[in-house]
Amino acid sequence: MNRTEVAGIGWAVAASDCAGGTDEAGESVADSKRVVVLASGNGSNLQALLDAGVEVVLVASDRPDAYALERGRLAGVDTAVVRPADHPDRRAFDRALRDLVAATRPDAVCLAGFMRVLGPEFVRAFPDRIVNTHPSLLPAFRGAHAVRDALAYGVRVSGCTVHLVDEEVDHGPVLFQAAVPVEDGDDEASLHERIKREEHRLLPVAVGLVASGRVRTDGRRAWLTAEVPGR
């Protein structure tokens, strides 16, 4: 198999494919695949996907007040809320979310600020097809307060990691990372804002590649294939 490391020399290939690029059949790679986005908050990463022309078929949230849902509605995308409180336990919540997402037959699932840990029943339903973005250079500062924790540690450089999701939190194979300097006087909001600018650039590229079936994994390594499956 012809393969290229995603985060290495594959970058140029990745960027050109997904920034309005076409595949061998002349079909648009980025906008012909079905993507489900899970989001709990503001949804600026969802917006970046929408603005890049990614075909989002469903925005689902665990929080009815998530502004991401409004962004989805404004873009004419179906939205849904699955509240943990409406389910007896985490497994039941995972199953409900899995069934909702699976019914849309997605090519990729994107966690864009989704603040729930997804259990194995969800993750196993979409192997190597779930993409997450995390606001630190993993494996540093996993968890829900990555930006705050990085500042508290006193790092001079942080960043973001766009990665495939496996059964451990903030852990799957890395697709892209970008470094972001910490500036004097930064607080959590200002640093997070600068990190998000990088997320908005990288996430649509990663989601486009995963949705197109162009990403394979080999242990912790993600590879970009030249072939588009089914052609």
Active site positions, annotated: 134
Who contacts 37 (Cβ-Cβ below 8 Å, separation ≥6)?
Answer: 46, 49, 56, 58, 59, 60, 68, 72, 109, 110, 112
Continuous segment of H or E residues that includes residue 37: strand 34-38
Q: How many C-beta atoms lie closer than 10 Å to residue 104's C-beta? A: 16
CA–CA distance, 52 with 86 (Å, rounded to integer): 34
Contact between 134 and ligand GRF (CB under 6 A)? yes
Contact between 61 and ligand GRF (CB under 6 A)? no
Q: Which stretch binds ligand GRF (CB under 6 A): 122-130, 133-141, 172-180, 204-212?
A: 133-141
Q: Which residue is nearest to ligand GRF (CB)?
A: 113
Tell which one of 133, 158, 212, 225 touches ligand GRF (CB under 6 A).
133
Tell which one of 141, 191, 199, 225 touches ligand GRF (CB under 6 A).
199
Q: Which stretch binds ligand GRF (CB under 6 A): 22-30, 56-64, 72-80, 128-136?
A: 128-136
Q: Per the structure block, which two tokens stand in for 2?
A: 């012809």
Are the C-beta atoms of residues 223 and 6 closer than 8 Å to each other?
Answer: yes
Instruction: List binders of ligand GRF among 101-120 (CB under 6 A).
Output: 112-113
CA–CA distance, 36 with 22 (Å, rounded to integer): 21
Nearer to ligand GRF, 98 or 134 (CB): 134
Q: Which stretch binds ligand GRF (CB under 6 A): 25-33, 87-95, 129-137, 148-156?
A: 129-137
